[in-house]
Every structure is written in structure tokens, then in C-alpha cells.
């Protein structure tokens, strides 16, 4: 996501005053959508949503069910459970990205969203870098060095690889331990999904 783009945040809470308060605190920095039930959340979910702040305890369709549906639909939204439910062992298998226990203040919400966006951006750079390195390796293996050196497109590919490496280094330098936990939890999930698919 470029600096010029505003992230879209979906706030989901069956207590309307809570959802509206979060939205009011966030609207200066993000495009905010509010949903007052699990059903409304599912209706609002689409690929444009970057982050979901999701309450766990809601009537009819719980936050846990909304979370599972997000993952089943393979939406790329980052999900933070923002809830009064203290964490218990049941969270171990839940595919959320962060868990924030109420009450929360504005800075908590913004720090959580910014961390999730930062991790999503990092993963995007990793995937782009991997795609470029695959092309680079394939060409290096099949073309003689003089032909590679004479090709303008290959030179551009090398420059783009270097730029992607620089962006990744910058992102990693800005990470704290929690950021690493979020990123590598997702990489581990992606790896397990690939294993299961095979």
C-alpha cells in the first residue's frame, strides 16, 4: 500500500456505541466501515478491507465464526480480535493476527492497525522479491553470461531485485519482536496450507 492510499478498516462490534467510538477515533487516518453484528460484517467484507477489528462475543454469528469465514474466503484482510474475552487455550488454533483485550484506547487501536499493515506490506515485498528471484535464477541457469550482460531487460530485473532487497532490509530494521511474531506466524500458516494442499 502506498503512502498516498488510506487503509480500509472494518470495525465489528455488537455494541454500537463501542463500534462508533472506535470509528470516530480512527477516521482521521483510515477509511472506516462499521458493522454491528457478525452478519453485517460478512456483508461488508470484500477484498478492499485491509484490517478487521473484530469483537468475539456477538449474538447469532460470533466473532470467531466471522474470523473463520474471512479465512475460508481467502481474504487478505488482517484480523485483530478486540474483545473483553481474556485469552484462553482456545485461541491457539484461531487464525487471527493480533489479540487485544478491552478496554483499549485510541493509541492501542492505531498501533495495532499500523503493525498489521506494516506486516502485510512486508509480506507483499517478500512475495514480489521471490517472484523476481525465480525469474532471475531461471535466466541465469539457461543463458550464457555475455547474453545476460547484453540484455537491457535483464539489467532492469537486476536493478529491481536490488530495490526489493533494500525495501525488505528497511522493513526488517523497523520490526520489533511482536512484528516478527505476526509475520512468521502467517508464513508458517501459508507453509502448512501448502503442505496440506500437496
User: pLDDT tens for residues 36-64?
Assistant: 999 999 999 999 999 999 999 999 999 99
Sorting pLDDT into bands at 50, 70 and 90, what band is 3? very low
Q: How many CB atoms lie within 10 A of CB 74?
A: 8
Task: Please give the average per-residue pLDDT across 103-123, as a whole number.
Answer: 89
Residue 58 is given by DSSP the state -
Indicate whether 182 pLDDT > 70. Answer: no
- CA 35-39-41 angle, to 5 degrees, is 40
Residue 92 is given by DSSP the state G
Task: Please give the average per-residue pLDDT across 98-122, as a whole number.
Answer: 89
Sorting pLDDT into bands at 50, 70 and 90, what band is 184? low
User: pLDDT tens for residues 140-181?
Assistant: 999 999 999 999 999 999 999 999 888 888 878 877 766 565
What is each CA distance from 194 to 76, 120, 130, 134, 140, in whole angstroms? Answer: 16, 19, 16, 18, 27
In the prediction, which pLDDT does 173 show? Answer: 82
Cross-strand partners of 134: none
Pick the more confident residue, 69 or 126: 69
The rounded mean pLDDT for the chain is: 85
For 186: left if phi > 0, alpha if psi spans -120 to 50, otherwise beta; the answer is alpha
Amino acid at each position: 500500500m502506498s503512502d498516498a492510499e488510506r487503509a480500509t478498516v472494518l470495525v465489528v462490534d455488537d455494541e454500537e456505541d463501542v463500534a462508533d467510538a472506535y470509528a470516530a477515533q480512527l477516521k482521521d487516518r483510515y477509511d472506516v466501515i462499521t458493522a454491528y453484528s457478525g452478519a453485517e460484517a460478512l456483508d461488508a467484507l470484500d477484498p478492499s478491507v485491509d484490517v478487521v477489528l473484530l469483537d468475539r462475543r456477538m449474538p447469532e454469528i460470533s466473532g470467531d465464526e466471522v474470523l473463520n469465514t474471512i479465512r475460508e474466503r481467502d481474504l487478505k484482510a488482517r484480523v485483530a480480535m478486540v474483545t473483553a474475552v481474556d485469552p484462553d487455550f482456545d485461541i491457539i488454533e484461531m487464525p487471527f493476527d493480533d489479540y487485544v483485550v478491552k478496554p483499549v484506547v485510541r493509541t492501542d487501536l492505531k498501533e495495532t492497525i499500523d503493525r498489521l499493515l506494516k506486516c502485510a506490506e512486508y509480506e507483499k515485498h517478500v512475495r514480489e522479491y521471490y517472484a523476481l528471484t525465480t525469474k532471475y535464477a531461471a535466466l541465469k541457469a539457461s543463458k550464457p553470461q555475455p547474453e545476460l550482460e547484453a540484455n537491457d531487460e535483464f539489467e532492469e530485473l537486476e536493478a529491481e531485485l536490488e530495490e526489493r532487497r533494500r525495501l525488505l532490509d528497511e522493513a526488517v530494521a523497523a520490526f520489533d519482536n511482536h512484528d516478527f511474531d505476526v509475520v512468521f506466524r502467517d508464513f508458517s500458516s501459508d507453509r502448512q496450507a501448502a503442505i496440506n494442499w500437496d
